[in-house]
Structure 1
Amino acid sequence: MLLRWLVGNWIQNQGRDLVQQQLAGRVAGEGEPVEAPETIEVACFFALGIESGGLYDMLESPQTIKHDGFVEHLGLLDGRLISLVETGVGSKKARKTTEQYIELRQPQWIVSSGFVGGLAEPVKKGHVVMASSVVRAEREELAIPLSMSPEQAHAQPGLHVGRLLTVDKIVRTPQQKRQLGEANGAIAVDMETYATADACAAGKTRFLSVRVITDAVDDELPKNLERLVEQTSTAKMIGAAAAAFINRPSSVQDMWRLRETAMKASDRLARFLQGVVPQLG
């Protein structure tokens, strides 16, 4: 989970996001107007561009629209018009964007996508998780109907079907991950899925969750880097990052390793989603 925050809020600002804007070529308010559809069949929701980057690279004729509070990328995936929506991080942003988007486009399907942390031993870095249900503290469990059983998923290497946990804070240590996994019977953890699923249920929109593991249950995330995600502004985040680099120069290498992990995970997720999207209709 920390991978997303670090890469999305620090490196992403200087990397893939800029490339994507150049490739898109047309942004609402710049150049030719974007002809957006009144309705969309499938919308894949991501917190940040680093998560959607792999799938964005697969789109034909991508166009970007900046809405109030979220970003939408429209394009053809194997000839079918789909939407990639960047909601921002956390449940509040995910819920608000979901509600806005349902009203805006009336999507038939919303797919909650992106990065997750592993909470169980069989779930490894780079594996894909399809949630059969999602839970969060003091909330009712939400079931997610799937046509695939756990047994069928088990027959596919690197794919897991199970319960997903949504939390409000980063889960950093193996001990914390194991405790949460055992207490909730969950195999992975994120920060948006429950809010998106709940808003879809209220809006009578079909929902699916497909995510990729970026840190396994035994992966301990660096403590000094955790401070970055606690910052409330980009300026404060830059200051915290600079302090981390000064106190521990190897933090720079950590950031680039995290970037590479995130890029590979995004591409892995994109390949899987490329097979899922045609089945939604």
Structure 2
Amino acid sequence: MIAIFFALSQEISSLKSQVNILKKIRHANAVFYQSEFCGFPITLVQTGIGKNVSESVQHLSKYFRIQLMVSSGFAGSVNSQVNVGDLVIGKQVLYSLQESMEGEIQIDSIFPGDTPVVDLAVKLCSNNAFKSHCGDILTVNKIIRQSVLKKHIGNQTSAIAVDMESFAIAERANAMGIPFVIIRSISDGLEDDMEIDENMVTERGNVNIPATARHLFNKPHHIPYLNRLRKQTKLATNTLSVFFPNFITQVYNSLLT
């Protein structure tokens, strides 16, 4: 079975409408959608943001034989060639224990993506309308809001994009001997400052409407930034929606038994 992990409700919407959901299961802050796609078993997991994902992986592995773990959803660009709506495929995931990404960045851990799956994903992108990139992804502990900090990360590391969940998934996959890959889409570009607060998203990865309303009431000048982000996340969602159906089919037909 393929397990695809998303942090946010908007991210998982890229696939929910395209699969046949057989069962919905809640555990802690995560929601599991046991599903099938063209007859193939697949589980979609909405984990919430950050390190909550590790517990979700452990819970899922107790009940299913996972053959491939995919870390998906949105990512932020730290490379001038990687733009909003582009697909990024993780050659490897990097992680730094540093809380602050300012100054020199020390990479403490690295996990590679599964080479056959990475190669297949790259091959499948050749005929799509969207642009794709294969490179390193850096998992960070906090939202990278400032464009200047994104550029600093890009200069200091080999990463082409950043996220907040992939390392935890890769770490669990490695411990269990399960192939792993990152497939994400860019929702905020290198030049974009992120005018958002963490509490605008709930622990389960849904929009916190009261917190968002309070934020906009106190900072109405941020409305244009949120409108821009809404349009950009829609582009990123569309890219994932286009890519995944063929990817799932080809993974089962050529790599999984």
CA 1:257–1:102: 2 relative to 1, 3 Å? same
1:57 aligns with 2:17: yes
Match of 2:80 in 1: 121
Cα distance in 1 for partners of 2:81, 2:177 equals 34
Amino acid at match of 2:111: L
The answer to whether the 8 A contact 1:99-1:203 is kept is: no
Match of 1:43 in 2: 3
1:262 aligns with 2:233: yes
The answer to whether the 8 A contact 1:53-1:267 is kept is: no
1:141 aligns with 2:101: no
Cα distance in 2 for partners of 1:232, 1:268 equals 25
Match of 1:109 in 2: 68
Cα distance in 2 for partners of 1:50, 1:86 equals 10
Cα distance in 1 for partners of 2:19, 2:211 equals 36
Cα distance in 1 for partners of 2:211, 2:175 equals 39
The answer to whether the 8 A contact 1:150-1:160 is kept is: no
CA 1:189–1:249: 2 relative to 1, 3 Å? same
Once the two structures are superposed, what CA deviation does each residue of 1:190-249 show, in whole Å capped at 9, x if it has no partner? 000011001000011111110000001111222xx3364599899xx6665344323443
The answer to whether the 8 A contact 2:200-2:209 is kept is: no
Once the two structures are superposed, what CA deviation does each residue of 1:109-161 show, in whole Å capped at 9, x if it has no partner? 11111110001011010000110101111522111132329996895651110
Amino acid at match of 1:219: D
Paired residues in the alignment total 236
CA 1:250–1:274: 2 relative to 1, 3 Å? same
The answer to whether the 8 A contact 1:134-1:194 is kept is: yes
The answer to whether the 8 A contact 1:178-1:217 is kept is: yes
Match of 1:69 in 2: 29
Match of 2:44 among 84, 88, 96: 84
The answer to whether the 8 A contact 2:2-2:69 is kept is: yes
TM-score, normalization: structure 1?
Answer: 0.75
Match of 1:158 in 2: 131
The answer to whether the 8 A contact 1:48-1:86 is kept is: yes
Once the two structures are superposed, what CA deviation does each residue of 1:81-109 show, in whole Å capped at 9, x if it has no partner? 21101111102x11111122122212111
The answer to whether the 8 A contact 1:116-1:213 is kept is: yes
Worse-superposed segment, 254-263 or 149-158 = 149-158
Cα distance in 1 for partners of 2:22, 2:222 equals 35
The answer to whether the 8 A contact 1:153-1:160 is kept is: no
Over the aligned positions, Cα root-mean-square deviation in angstroms equals: 2.8
The answer to whether the 8 A contact 1:213-1:265 is kept is: yes
Following superposition, the deviation at residue 172 of structure 1 comes to: 1.2
Match of 1:195 in 2: 168
1:98 aligns with 2:89: no
Higher strand share: 2
Match of 1:216 in 2: 189
CA 1:131–1:251: 2 relative to 1, 3 Å? same
Match of 1:36 in 2: none
State the identity %.
28
TM-score, normalization: structure 2?
Answer: 0.81
CA 1:62–1:270: 2 relative to 1, 3 Å? farther
SS in 2 for 1:177: helix
Match of 2:242 in 1: 271
CA 1:104–1:275: 2 relative to 1, 3 Å? same
The answer to whether the 8 A contact 1:117-1:215 is kept is: yes
Cα distance in 1 for partners of 2:41, 2:120 equals 28
1:204 aligns with 2:177: yes
CA 1:264–1:74: 2 relative to 1, 3 Å? farther
CA 1:89–1:163: 2 relative to 1, 3 Å? same
**Could you say which structure has the larger radius of gyration?**
1
